[in-house]
Structures are given as structure tokens and as C-alpha cells.
Amino acid sequence: MTRQPIVNRTTFDSVMVPTYSPASIIPVRAEGSRVWDSDGIDYVDLAGGIAVTALGHGHPAVVDTLVAQANRLWHISNVFTNEPSLQLASRLTEATFASRAFFANSGAEANEAALKLARRVAFNRYRDNPDKVEVLSFAQSFHGRTLFTVSVGGQPKYATGFGPLPQAIKHLRYNDIEDVTVSIGPNTCAVIVEPVQGEGGVYPANREFLLTLRRLCDKHDALLIFDEVQIGVGRSGSLYAYMAYGVTPDVLTTAKSLGNGFPIAAMLTTDELAAHFSPGTHGSTYGGNPLGAAVADKVVELVNVPTVLNGVRERSAHILAALRGINGRHGIFRELRGMGLLLGAELSDDFAGRAPDFVGAALSAGVMILNAGQNVLRLAPSLIIPFEDIDEGLRRFEGAIPSVIDSEVTV
């Protein structure tokens, strides 16, 4: 009998490419909003796998859907279509502005497809203007890790050392109407924006800012792309955040929560724009895989109901109230912000740069949270997390605060 190798956290350092620096624990089991590590220690999950597990871990209906599909058809490639992907595309187009869907494996790939579509539309419409290729994005944005999307993202640290980078990309100031007004012009083919910047610090867009983008894109025949990879699929309190803002994009990208942990993403757009992609112009071997599509179809069905969406807003208010109470007792936050269940707590000047320390201390106390840069703590739990788990998680977090405060004092 072949013995399985014994693995632990140090195994990572000997067998994995060091693109990550994972925590010291290894999660092995989860249910709802609770996670257990290999030592049997339990954690309250307020991170959601970075805004992914919208319905928590092991949701029975999602598990049943995955198992049922696994017993039918795993993969068939895009040489054929399949029933789950058609059902998912129908559900998404019925629920949104879009009339067409393209499926991929990740948010980066969905954004890659959106950006390629924008360039293709400009190429087809403006053959007499080869300069209409400019893509405008925003400082501190994050759109993925492909060479194109990391170049479009507004955080140079992710692109440094990978040049030469794709050209005709410009980064503007987020929520700055004056900057976009003077920058969007006849050579702009696309503007890509996160309605809520996630990795960049959890900054929600101002509605007037998004309305201005819409107006200027219409004026200059540029595509407005909403990257809802992190805020989409109910996390905002609406199925997609554009609905809450009342500003409709030309293209929307969605991933993360779409598969509740199963890798799947989508680019959504209109009939007219989709026609600029003909067979062979773009593709994905795994995109629209029956397993992922079946799971995503069930996730959207379960999320897009008033009880869940109203519950997101209720949980958001509950968390913000609790964080204000914590801040009143400890004074560690400068600002609380976000939308729905994508929330950010910016640290006060006294704790600038210490977000990773708070994340580590929280983990030691039995609660999973995230940071968004060095100064912001980020919460992105399940959309249906029980209120008692919220309270327990924040109780554990508050218990961890003195260890960070004391270590700061002794430095």
C-alpha cells in the first residue's frame, strides 16, 4: 500500500513556486462560516476566500449541484456547447443589462476578454483612426495578473519587472471628475473601473463620477467596462453594483463569488458589441466548463432573491456598527467605508502600515480577515453568514487588538 506523504506548512517552501507567503496554518475543513485547520482549531471566516464564498463553505444545494453534474458531464471543451453553460448564460442575461455572455476561469481572464473586445470594437469601427486604442483605468485599481490586466491595473508594483508592457494605457485619479473630463477623448477605446476598488483599499465610487464616465464614454464612443469581479454577485446588496448606482456599463466582468469557490468567470455585454468577436477571435478551453457553469447557475439562483440581498445590507449595517463600537474603545481606525459586504477599515496614523500585523493577530485569535494594502483591514464574509458568527468573529478580533497595540508600544 502506497503511503501518502506527510505535508505541513514547511512543505510549501520546498515544493511551491514562491509567489505567495501563506499563513502558518493549513485549513482542512469548513462549514458555513467556520473553518478548521489541520490541528483542529476553528476560525470564524470573515474573509470569504477573498470575497469568493458568497454562500459560505459547503452550502448543501451547491454541493448537491456539483455532485449531480459530476455524475453527468465534467468537460467537453468549446468544440461543443453544454446545457449548464447555456442555462447560466440565460440566467445572467435575464437578470442584467446584458444579452450575451462569455465564460472564462478567472476575473483576470474575464477582464482580458473585456479589454480585447474593446480594442476589437475600436479596430472594426475606426479603421481610419489607428490611434483609437487608448485604455483608461484608475490609480490603485486591480484587474488581474495577465500581462494586459496587470498593466491596466493602477498598482505599478504588480507590473514592475515584466516589461515591455502593453501600451496606450493611462491611469487617472479615482473619483476625480475633472481628471476624467479632460482625459477621455476621441482616442479612448475603453474606460475600465471598479464600482468599489477592492485591492486598492475598499473605495466605493461616487455615483456622479460613474455617471460622468457614462456620459463621456457615450460622447467619445468608448466602451465603459465595470469590473465587478470582487463586488459582484450580491456582495453590494444588489446582484451587481451597477444596479445600485443606476449606471449601466457596456461590458461587465464577474468572477469570485460567481462560483462560490469553483473557478469560473464571465464577461457580459450586448448583442451589438458581442458581434465584434467572431469564431476564433477569442476563446478558453475551460471557459463554460459544465461543472463550473452548473455551480454558478445555482449560486446566482440562490443569491438573486430579496431575502439574501436585503440580508447583505442588514449584515453590512451590523458589522459597521460593531466596528464603530470597537473603534470607540480602541481608536485604531481612521475611516470605515465600503459597500454591502465588502468593507474596509482604514487604520489611524498611529498604526499606519500595520494592517498585516492586525491580520496575523486576528488569525492567532481565531478569525480570518484580510488587508487591502498596508493600511486597510478588509472584510468580505459570506453573504448569509449568521449574525452570531459575525459577533463571535469581531469579538475575537477585538481580543487580538491589544497584542498589536502593545507590540507597537514596545518597538
2 lies in a domain? no
65 lies in a domain? no
Write out the H or E segment, with its range, that includes residue 251.
strand 251-254
Number of H helices, E strands in the chain: 14, 17
Closest by CA to 396, choosing from 372, 369, 356, is 369
| Alpha-helix runs per DSSP H in 249-354 | 271-274, 290-303, 306-330
Task: Tell me the three cell numbers of residue 325.
Answer: 463600537
Say if residue 84 is in the same domain as residue 206: yes
Q: 261, 287, 303: which is the final residue of a domain?
A: 303
Say if residue 80 is in the same domain as residue 211: yes
Q: 286, 303, 320: which is the final residue of a domain?
A: 303
Q: Is the pLDDT of residue 176 over 80?
A: yes
Say if residue 189 is in the same domain as residue 263: yes
pLDDT at 5: 62
Cβ neighbours for 124, distance < 8 A, ≥ 6 positions apart:
276
Q: Is the pLDDT of residue 14 over 90?
A: no
Task: State in Å, rounded, how far the first CA of the chain is from the last one.
Answer: 53
Task: Tell me the three cell numbers of residue 316.
Answer: 453590512
Under a CB-based contact definition with an 8 Å cutoff, are residues 137 and 153 in contact?
A: yes
Say if residue 169 is in the same domain as residue 311: no
Q: Is the pLDDT of residue 2 over 60?
A: no
Say if residue 404 is in the same domain as residue 297: no
Say if residue 189 is in the same domain as residue 228: yes
CA angle 387, 264, 272 (to 5 degrees): 115
Q: 303, 324, 355: which is the final residue of a domain?
A: 303
Say if residue 157 is in the same domain as residue 260: yes
Q: Is the pLDDT of residue 409 over 60?
A: no
Say if residue 141 is in the same domain as residue 237: yes
387 lies in a domain? yes
pLDDT at 411: 37
Q: What is the pLDDT of residues 180-198, one digit of tens each?
A: 999 999 999 999 999 999 9
- pLDDT band, very low/low/confident/very high, at 20 (cuts 50, 70, 90): confident
Query: What ranges make up the beta strands (E) of 139-201?
Result: 169-172, 188-193, 196-197
CA of 379: how far to CAs of 47, 69, 118, 234, in Å? 6, 32, 32, 15
CA–CA dist 370, 341 (Å, integer): 13
68 lies in a domain? no
84 lies in a domain? yes
**For residue 88, what are the domain limits?**
73-303
Kindly report the three-state secondary structure assignment for every residue of 119-140.
HHHHHHHCCCCCCCCEEEEECC
pLDDT at 312: 98
CATH of the domain at 90: 3.40.640.10
Domain count, the chain: 2
